[in-house]
Structure 1
């Protein structure tokens, strides 16, 4: 029997690509340890994003590549996740317990941003992350309905409120505190104060990701987010037609100006699938989001079709990822979550929370 070397195994692992970080496993520093003994190879793989949905795929690819090495008789793969805290915009302090904040934004309303945000949050949780979602749309909160949550939040200490929960994620929205049909007739300062309180006065606990569903536009709420909330990255949602893309560009430029990394662009309502014949039609044009991503040199995170089931499931309080994760639509959202988390995983890590506080006193 020929002797198997660690170098041979490492060379084989360089042929396995991680599509979510855009590198092979070795270059991405995801291979943490290789153990070789008497033809038995054991590989420890560590992913910087939720691993539950992809561990089987990577294990299979690694086993196939390594098993092809002469002398290998057994391959064991251990996959774990290590979701770390990544850098946000400069000058903004991290929030205790929340590792990463992802803002989901659009330049205009009606492009399906809230539906995308809730399914993104559910996708991250489905793959093994602890996730919360903050509905930052004070004037038009929609997450209570989409998540199927009713009732009022409670407080255990009289100072902070407990987040509401459903489908495995935590949630907070002004919609939990007011009647569904109540109109919020507030000026800008009241809105920004409410947003800060919803975020800071909620006992979120330990979260790998918080998804913030922003209102459309580039106004007070977005400015507050940029100045006071540590946002790790932004996802821009648009539809393919030129009118939506024009406003989406404004949103992208706003995040660039305030130093918030752009994780990528999602093209929603990308095409229509006829429920009777299965024919696909580009109702709102096609490929606009991808062209915009190329123009601004950011990632194109995926295309979501216009499908009645997405609307029905959200209206019924059980969004697509919760209702049918194994469907074609569910898989599209799960892949979106993996690309967002993978893009985030390769950003710079924030170590400031590990530094001790240094206090200088005069005696």
Structure 2
């Protein structure tokens, strides 16, 4: 007479280690296996093998496999600014790459629906997004960063003329995707402080936010509004980043400050927020970004500027574990 022990004996040692329990009654074999740490493909293969070996046992008419997996404690970090054109997307991409090089499992959601640029910054324009179980599957860039962007879902160059509710639904679809073992999601928010941003912050409740600004007074006024938005949504502000801070002439080496100097750092002190660092205005960053090669992927001077900020973010994450 067939028993649960007979089914256990039929399962090869290489996959038997995943099995937590086997029950058999009325011709039905029920196997519970631990798929923690396995990707979707590996988990599906484990299920197929268990079904195949168990069904080969005499008396087994049906096999039911239940896979258990530890739930990933995923945290969300919003990258925002009060206005466009301050380098928010470039910072997001480079922080993600730097954090991935540190060993963190990172994903990027390009929530800047009306001006998505992450597919260019992370060189993923030619990768097509797929869906499984009515959910999107992020693509993985060559830098070890998973990515989903509205740019992957619409025709290139096509304008997205959507009202707030449609945008909110699209962003929810990007967030509620198959992120797998991704532990950290960086959200490249749209510029500004409107309804879309507020809805996003309230619905998905980021663990923290970073505000990007250039040094001049006008950008800092908008950055202050962005900080106020995060405070209203009760999202902790991790700190400010000053972008385009100082330009080194490639011919004479002289440093000039076309957008001013130190404004974001002074603003962070006045607002009681941390200052995370500054990124220079450099031709190398612009060229690397246009060609999909984030400076943070290399140990250049420009790459180290992003890495230093990523290290401060990493330290904040470690100090504020849930």
TM-score by length of 2: 0.76
Equivalent residue in structure 2 for 1:222, among 197, 202, 217: 197
How many angstroms apart in 1 are the aligned matches of 2:164 and 2:307?
Answer: 35
How many angstroms apart in 2 are the aligned matches of 1:196 and 1:275?
Answer: 44
Equivalent residue in structure 2 for 1:115, among 79, 87, 90: 90
Equivalent residue in structure 1 for 2:108, among 133, 137, 140: 133
Aligned residue number for residue 88 of structure 1: none
CA RMSD, aligned part only? 1.2
Partners of 1:98 and 1:210 within 8 A in 2: no
Partners of 2:86 and 2:213 within 8 A in 1: yes
Give the ranges of 4+ consecutive aligned residues of structure 1 lying more than 3 Å apart after TM superposition: none
Equivalent residue in structure 2 for 1:256, among 231, 253, 257: 231
Q: Secondary structure at the match of 2:115?
A: coil
Determine if the alignment matches structure 1 residue 168 to structure 2 residue 141: no
Partners of 2:136 and 2:173 within 8 A in 1: no
Equivalent residue in structure 1 for 2:286, among 311, 314, 326: 311
Equivalent residue in structure 2 for 1:177, among 153, 158, 168: 153
Partners of 2:277 and 2:309 within 8 A in 1: yes
Q: Number of residue pairs matched?
A: 250
Give 1:98 shift.
Answer: 4.7
How many angstroms apart in 2 are the aligned matches of 1:286 and 1:173?
Answer: 33
Determine if the alignment matches structure 1 residue 103 to structure 2 residue 83: no
Equivalent residue in structure 1 for 2:165, among 150, 174, 189: 189
Partners of 2:135 and 2:173 within 8 A in 1: no
Equivalent residue in structure 2 for 1:199, among 175, 185, 196: 175
Tell me the alpha carbon deviations over residues 327-355 of structure 1, each in whole angstroms, 9 at most, x when there is no partner: 111111111101012123222x32xxxxx
How many angstroms apart in 2 are the aligned matches of 1:98 and 1:313?
Answer: 33
- The structure whose Rg is larger is 2
Q: Unaligned regions of 5+ residues in structure 2, if any? A: 1-70
Give 1:151 shift.
Answer: 3.3
Q: Secondary structure at the match of 2:136?
A: coil
Aligned residue number for residue 310 of structure 2: 337
How many angstroms apart in 2 are the aligned matches of 1:98 and 1:170?
Answer: 16
How many angstroms apart in 2 are the aligned matches of 1:258 and 1:230?
Answer: 8
Q: Secondary structure at the match of 1:180?
A: coil
Tell me the alpha carbon deviations over residues 232-279 of structure 1, each in whole angstroms, 9 at most, x when there is no partner: 100000000000000000000110111100000000001111112221
Tell me the alpha carbon deviations over residues 288-309 of structure 1, each in whole angstroms, 9 at most, x when there is no partner: 0000110111110001000011
How many angstroms apart in 2 are the aligned matches of 1:115 and 1:340?
Answer: 16
Greater helix percent: which structure?
2
How many angstroms apart in 2 are the aligned matches of 1:193 and 1:221?
Answer: 10
Q: Structure 1 residues 299, 198: closer, same or farther in 2, change over 3 A? A: same
Aligned residue number for residue 320 of structure 1: 295
How many angstroms apart in 2 are the aligned matches of 1:211 and 1:170?
Answer: 10
Give 1:208 shift.
Answer: 2.4
Name which structure has the greater RCO, CA cutoff 8 Å, separation 6+: 1
Tell me the alpha carbon deviations over residues 44-95 of structure 1, each in whole angstroms, 9 at most, x when there is no partner: xxxxxxxxxxxxxxxxxxxxxxxxxxxxxxxxxxxxxxxxxxxxxxxxxxxx
Partners of 1:238 and 1:289 within 8 A in 2: yes
How many angstroms apart in 2 are the aligned matches of 1:216 and 1:295?
Answer: 22
